[in-house]
Structure 1
Amino acid sequence: MTKKLGIIGGLGPMATAYFMRRIIELTDAATDQENIEMIIYNCPSIPDRTGYILGTSEESPLPKITELAHNLEHANVDYIAMPCITAHYFHDQLADSVFIPVSNGIKEAAQYIYERGITKVGIMATDGTASMHLFDSVFKDYDIKCLYPDEAGQKQVMSLIYDDVKAGKPVDMDKFFQVKSQLLEAGADIIILGCTELSIVKRDNEVGPKVLDIVDVLAADCVKKCAKARPECDNLITEV
């Protein structure tokens, strides 16, 4: 019997829709009834996470995120996921506010990478995620080193996220491959797409080998917790 999944979404909307799609694709279901029941709050009005973390906005997203979690709790979901990695900055506070387990995509990614013997990763993520070292704070416990783009490269990552995906415009893949090459040349074994907007880049474009999408990790975790997983859940890193 499948469990009920609650999703705090809208951060952003397209990434939330893709997250739901990946959950369905990774679920080993032969009938409609074997798929996961989901309650999704697509709430794009949640204040910008990066702006608050960096101090350019005084409006915290946490109260609205917590309100949605409580709504999901009252709807009797068994597991909660939040397909926004920058918002994982608030994960512990959110998890403490409800009695239902809340998926931690960063911790799941660390476990996935550790099990495959990878020790050095390149991170493509928002300024907020990078500046607060959200990945480093977890990955250090697994002896995994995180590498980040230089200042110019980080600006290209933010442009991909905000100027292209969030703005609904075509993605400039030259920017993507410049950053990817920089991180691989710096010694990264794989590249982590550490922002759900970058998952849309991978959805619509060929990103090449050695890429791990954080949305895939989060979706696989939800499937394993709530239903029966397909074998693809154990093969999430792109190959040649």
Structure 2
Amino acid sequence: MKNFFVILGGMGSLATESFVRLINQRTPTTSDQDYLDYLVVNHATIPDRSTYILDHSQPNPGPQLVADVQQFSTLHPQFFVLTCNSAHYFYPEMAAATDRPILHMPQLAVEEIKTINPSAKRIGILGTPGTVKTGIYDHFITEAGYEIVKPTPEILAETEALIFEDIKQKGQVNPHRYHEVLRRMQEDLHCDTTILGCTELSLAQEQAPDHPYSISDAQSILADKAIQLALQGRQKEASQS
């Protein structure tokens, strides 16, 4: 198989399923052969990223993420996508372990804000405590000229409950809780656009999109970029044959 990409997922599995669904739904198709070629690595047993980021005495997922990149690089994919925001904490080590590109979801999500909301100035970030507190998004937000708005402890706690209790533990989205954290980011903290910096939040957006708030959905943007690159690779191959 040529011109395929690798989805590094399983963090969590429901969010990875949502990402694959987006890829298939958004790819222009009229037959089976129009769908994209990709491998899904659902490495669900990788230790929790946020837990380790906040407490280095906990199991470190970094070596397993690097090992996955090394293992699947031997198949020569066109590129990798990493469907976990918190896992981008380990991006430098992962990128150093391969000669294949790894798309950077936080960077893409910030770059897309200029299209989503051209007048935006204050950008909120929602995600796991590990993502929010270690500033995985911060550099990209400030470099783009925006003001960073972090959630209050109360909003972060509600977001954490949505991610870990509702979705990861119960396997369901709580639309009211999802809409409420978005409302509080926009109305209470005056965010112009809020980044969904966790793929479980992207799953919530997929299932409960009926709200009026401006968001930058990192996983959705990553899916669009993956489709664009995969189709370009297919076109290049066709032109050379």
TM-score, normalised to structure 2, is: 0.88
What is the Cα deviation at residue 215 of structure 1?
0.9
Which residue does 1:235 correspond to in 2?
none
TM-score, normalised to structure 1, is: 0.88
- Secondary structure, aligned partner of 2:100: coil
Contact 1:78-1:101 within 8 A present in 2 as well: yes
Contact 1:34-1:227 within 8 A present in 2 as well: no
Contact 1:122-1:148 within 8 A present in 2 as well: yes
What is the Cα deviation at residue 68 of structure 1?
1.1
- Secondary structure, aligned partner of 1:166: helix
Structure 1 residues 184-204: Cα deviation after superposition (integer angstroms, max 9, x where no partner): 122211222110011221222
What is the Cα deviation at residue 139 of structure 1?
1.4
Tell me, in whole angstroms, the C-alpha distance in 2 between the residues paired with 1:35 and 1:110: 28
Equivalent position to 1:146, from 137, 145, 148: 148
Is the aligned partner of 1:111 residue 2:111? yes
What is the Cα deviation at residue 66 of structure 1?
1.1
Which residue does 2:79 correspond to in 1?
79
What is the Cα deviation at residue 178 of structure 1?
2.6
CA RMSD of aligned residues (A): 1.7
Contact 1:3-1:227 within 8 A present in 2 as well: no
- Secondary structure, aligned partner of 1:227: helix
Structure 1 residues 95-147: Cα deviation after superposition (integer angstroms, max 9, x where no partner): 11100000001111121113452332221100000011111121111112221
1:3-22 matches, within 5 Å, as 3-22=3-22
Equivalent position to 1:187, from 187, 190, 211: 190
Which residue does 2:178 correspond to in 1?
176
Q: Which stretch shifts more, 218-227 or 182-191? A: 182-191
Tell me, in whole angstroms, the C-alpha distance in 1 between the residues paired with 2:208 and 2:141: 28
What amino acid sits opposite 1:138 in the alignment?
Answer: F
Structure 1 residues 35-85: Cα deviation after superposition (integer angstroms, max 9, x where no partner): 211111111110110011001643211111111111221112111011000
Which residue does 2:129 correspond to in 1?
127
- Unaligned stretches of 5+ residues in structure 1: 229-240
What is the Cα deviation at residue 207 of structure 1?
4.3
- Secondary structure, aligned partner of 1:59: coil
Contact 1:23-1:219 within 8 A present in 2 as well: yes
- Unaligned stretches of 5+ residues in structure 2: 233-241
Which residue does 1:217 correspond to in 2?
221
Tell me, in whole angstroms, the C-alpha distance in 2 between the residues paired with 1:114 and 1:203: 22
Tell me, in whole angstroms, the C-alpha distance in 2 between the residues paired with 1:37 and 1:182: 40
What is the Cα deviation at residue 33 of structure 1?
1.8
- Secondary structure, aligned partner of 2:80: strand
Which residue does 1:234 correspond to in 2?
none
- Secondary structure, aligned partner of 1:80: strand
Tell me, in whole angstroms, the C-alpha distance in 2 between the residues paired with 1:192 and 1:106: 9
Contact 2:123-2:194 within 8 A present in 1 as well: yes
Contact 2:29-2:35 within 8 A present in 1 as well: yes
Which residue does 2:36 correspond to in 1?
36
What is the Cα deviation at residue 169 of structure 1?
4.3
Structure 1 residues 132-176: Cα deviation after superposition (integer angstroms, max 9, x where no partner): 111112111111222122111110000000000001344333322
Tell me, in whole angstroms, the C-alpha distance in 2 between the residues paired with 1:108 and 1:60: 26
Contact 1:39-1:72 within 8 A present in 2 as well: no
